[in-house]
C-alpha cells in the first residue's frame, strides 16, 4: 500500500517553462487536494477534487490547472512558471466518510529561476 | 463551507513545560477533528484526532479536547521535549455539500527550548 505518491521530489524551472506535478493514490479516496507551502507558512489550497471529472478552485488557483480523469490520479499543471510559484507543493487525499485522516505525498520542492 | 481558525501562530516554551494550541470552527455539523505535525522539510502527519461524540482523547503526552457547544478544540502537549518542535495544524472535516473535505487551520510553529 503506497498511499500518496508524488513526483518529482525536486525541480528547477526557468521562467516561462511549464511542467506537470504528478500525484497518485491507491486508497480509493474521493477527495484529492493540492497545497502549496511557502517557507515558514501554512498550507494554501490550490485546487481540490471530489471525484473523477470534478475539480474546484481553492484559495490560490491562478497560474495552475488540474484534471481528474481517474480516481487515482490528480496532476497539477503549471503554465508559464513565475518566480512567485517557487514553493513546496503537497498532494493529499481523504476518503468521503465523515471521519478518517488525510494522507500527504512527500512533497515537491519547486524553484523557478 | 467550514472555516477553521488556529491560534497562536507561534509558540515558544521551555522544555518540560506544557503547550496548548487552540482552534475554532464554524460548521456545527463537522464531526472529525485531526491534528497534524509537520517537522522541518517533511510532510504533515497525523498525530491525534477526535470525533464529535468524544470530549477528550489522550495519547501519552498529547491530548485533544473538544467543546462542541463552543465549536472549539485544543491540542495539549505536556512535558514538552525539543523534538516536539514543529509546525502543528488543526483541521475539521466538512459535512453537507462538502462531505469529506478537510479544512486546515493556518498552523502553529512550536519551538521547545532546552
Segment (H or E) for A95: none
Question: Which pLDDT score, from 0 to 100, does residue A48 have?
Answer: 92
Q: Is B84 helix (H, G, I), strand (E, B) or coil?
A: helix
Question: Which pLDDT score, from 0 to 100, does residue A98 have?
Answer: 62
Percent of chain B with pLDDT over 70: 95
Question: Which pLDDT score, from 0 to 100, does residue B108 have?
Answer: 96
Strands A64-66 and A54-57: unpaired
Question: Which pLDDT score, from 0 to 100, does residue B29 have?
Answer: 86
Q: Which of B101, B103, B109 to mutate against chain A (most A CBs within 10 Å)?
A: B101
Cα dihedral value B81, B83, B89, B91, nearest 10: -80
Strands B10-14 and B4-7: unpaired
Cα(A5)–Cα(A2) distance, integer angstroms: 7
Q: Do A31 and B51 touch (CB under 8 A)?
A: no
pLDDT surpassing 80 at residue A27: yes
Q: What's the gap between Cα A72 and its chain centre? A: 13
Could you tell me the three cell numbers for A60? 490560490
Under the banding of pLDDT at 50, 70 and 90, the label for residue A97 is: low
Closest C-alpha among B6, B48, B63, B46 to residue A102? B46
Of A77-81, A100-104, B67-71, B105-109, the poorest mean pLDDT is in A100-104
Under the banding of pLDDT at 50, 70 and 90, the label for residue B53 is: confident
Cα(B77)–Cα(B64) distance, integer angstroms: 9
Average pLDDT over residues A65-80: 96
Average pLDDT over residues A59-69: 96
Average pLDDT over residues A54-75: 95
Tell me the C-alpha to C-alpha distance, in Å, between residue B62 and each of A82, A92, B77, B78.
41, 24, 5, 6
Q: What is the pLDDT of residues B2-47, one digit of tens each?
A: 889 999 999 999 999 999 999 999 988 888 999 999 999 999 999 9
Q: What is the pLDDT of residues B60-87, one digit of tens each?
A: 999 999 999 999 999 999 999 999 999 9
Alpha-carbon distance A70 to nearest alpha carbon in chain B (angstroms): 18
Cα(B74)–Cα(B4) distance, integer angstroms: 12
Q: Which residues of B touch A94 (CB under 8 A)?
A: 93, 100-102
Q: What is the pLDDT of residues B91-104, one digit of tens each?
A: 998 776 666 678 89
Question: Which pLDDT score, from 0 to 100, does residue A94 have?
Answer: 87
| Most confident by average pLDDT, A1-5, A94-98, B89-93 | B89-93
Q: What's the gap between Cα A77 and its chain centre? A: 9
Amino acid at each position: 500500500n503506497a498511499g500518496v505518491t508524488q513526483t518529482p521530489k525536486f525541480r528547477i524551472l526557468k521562467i516561462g517553462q511549464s511542467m506537470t506535478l504528478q500525484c497518485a493514490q491507491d486508497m480509493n479516496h474521493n477527495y484529492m487536494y493540492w497545497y502549496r507551502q511557502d517557507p515558514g507558512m501554512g498550507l494554501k489550497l490550490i485546487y481540490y477534487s471530489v471525484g473523477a471529472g470534478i475539480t474546484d478552485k481553492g484559495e490560490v488557483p491562478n497560474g495552475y490547472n488540474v484534471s481528474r480523469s481517474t480516481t487515482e490520479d490528480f496532476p497539477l499543471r503549471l503554465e508559464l512558471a513565475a518566480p512567485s510559484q517557487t514553493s513546496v507543493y503537497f498532494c493529499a487525499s481523504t476518503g468521503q466518510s465523515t471521519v478518517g485522516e488525510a494522507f500527504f505525498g512527500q512533497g515537491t520542492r519547486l524553484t523557478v529561476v | 463551507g467550514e472555516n477553521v481558525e488556529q491560534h497562536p501562530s507561534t509558540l515558544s516554551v521551555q522544555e518540560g513545560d506544557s503547550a496548548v494550541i487552540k482552534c475554532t470552527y464554524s460548521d456545527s455539523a463537522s464531526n472529525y477533528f485531526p491534528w497534524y505535525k509537520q517537522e522541518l522539510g517533511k510532510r504533515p502527519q497525523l498525530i491525534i484526532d477526535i470525533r464529535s461524540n468524544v470530549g477528550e482523547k489522550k495519547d501519552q503526552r498529547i491530548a485533544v479536547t473538544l467543546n462542541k457547544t463552543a465549536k472549539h478544540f485544543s491540542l495539549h502537549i505536556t512535558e514538552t521535549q525539543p523534538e516536539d518542535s514543529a509546525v502543528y495544524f488543526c483541521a475539521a472535516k466538512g459535512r453537507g455539500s462538502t462531505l469529506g473535505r478537510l479544512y486546515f487551520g493556518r498552523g502553529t510553529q512550536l519551538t521547545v527550548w532546552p
